[in-house]
Amino acid sequence: MDSVPLSDRTASAPGSKPPLPVKIVIAGGFGVGKTTTVGAISDIAPLTTEAEMTEVAVGIDIPGQHSTKTTTTVAMDFGSVAIDAGVKLYLFGTPGQSRFGFMWDDLARGALGALVVVDSSRLDDCYPAVDYFEHTGIPFIVGVNAFDGLLAQDLAAVRWALAIDDQVPVVAFDARDRRSVRDTLLVLLNRALHKAIGEQVAAT
């Protein structure tokens, strides 16, 4: 991650118009393939940003009070995709722990939707994420990462085990494969589109 040489920076006009940023949250438990998912489609190698629990404690803890949580680090991997000349899509991968509540709200605010990545052999990892997105009303789908093309359980069993709404798509995908990730994100975006159109109709 070397920074761009100065000559390259000055080549493009400073103050060039920034793109309109949109974002999708990639959620799930540890080791389910979130970073792989981001890396498969991102234009840049995934970057990692770290926030200590002090970050999470912003707005929650009373200032000045002693906190014992400051050494816990939340690492977030993210990438981006240039959609067109004016829109840039950010993909934020986030750990699935419910105790990082503040982090999630910050992350999810304004998101187009969320992809909850699931390892079909460890379904319980994704419950906090499913709960969170059901609760906040953010459009989401469940993507079962098919490690080596194998699913430990079929999709109907995953849907049953997670007890999610019939309208929430559950798809199998390969987190390593660019097209597979693209198609999975398109399923999510179509879900988000239906929801947005529905809200627009309801508002008129």
Partner 1 sequence: MRILGGSDAEEPASIRPYLKASSLSPSGDTPNKASNVGSEASGAQLRPFVLTSGRVTADPEIGLETQVTAGSRGGRVPTSRLSPELRAIVTLCAQPISVAEISARLKLHLGVVKILVGDLRATGYLDVHNHDVSSPNSPELILRVIRGLSAIV
State the residues that interact with partner 1 by CB under 8 A.
Answer: 1, 3-4, 6, 9-10, 12, 14-23, 41, 47-52, 54-55, 57-59, 63-64, 66-71, 73, 76, 78, 80-84, 87, 89-90, 92, 106-107, 109-110, 112, 178-179, 182, 185-186, 189-190, 192-193, 196-197, 199-200
DSSP-assigned letters across all residues of 128-152? HHHHHHHHHT--EEEEEE-GGG--S
Which CB sits closer to partner 1, 1 or 156?
A: 1
- Least Å from the CB of residue 81 to partner 1: 7
Are 46 and 39 in contact, with CB atoms under 8 Å apart?
A: yes
Which CB sits closer to partner 1, 47 or 121?
A: 47
Contacts of 133 (CB under 8 A, 6+ apart): 27, 108, 114, 116, 139, 140
- Least Å from the CB of residue 16 to partner 1: 7
Which CB sits closer to partner 1, 57 or 151?
A: 57
Task: Give the C-alpha separation, 112 to 23, whole Å.
Answer: 6
Are 75 and 95 in contact, with CB atoms under 8 Å apart?
A: yes
Closest CA to 106 of 155, 61, 51: 51
- Least Å from the CB of residue 83 to partner 1: 3
Which CB sits closer to partner 1, 14 or 149?
A: 14
Which CB sits closer to partner 1, 62 or 150?
A: 62
- Least Å from the CB of residue 59 to partner 1: 7
Which CB sits closer to partner 1, 63 or 149?
A: 63
C-alpha torsion 6→41→132→20, nearest 10? 50
Contacts of 37 (CB under 8 A, 6+ apart): 26, 91, 93, 115, 117, 143, 145, 175, 181
- Least Å from the CB of residue 124 to partner 1: 28
- Least Å from the CB of residue 28 to partner 1: 18
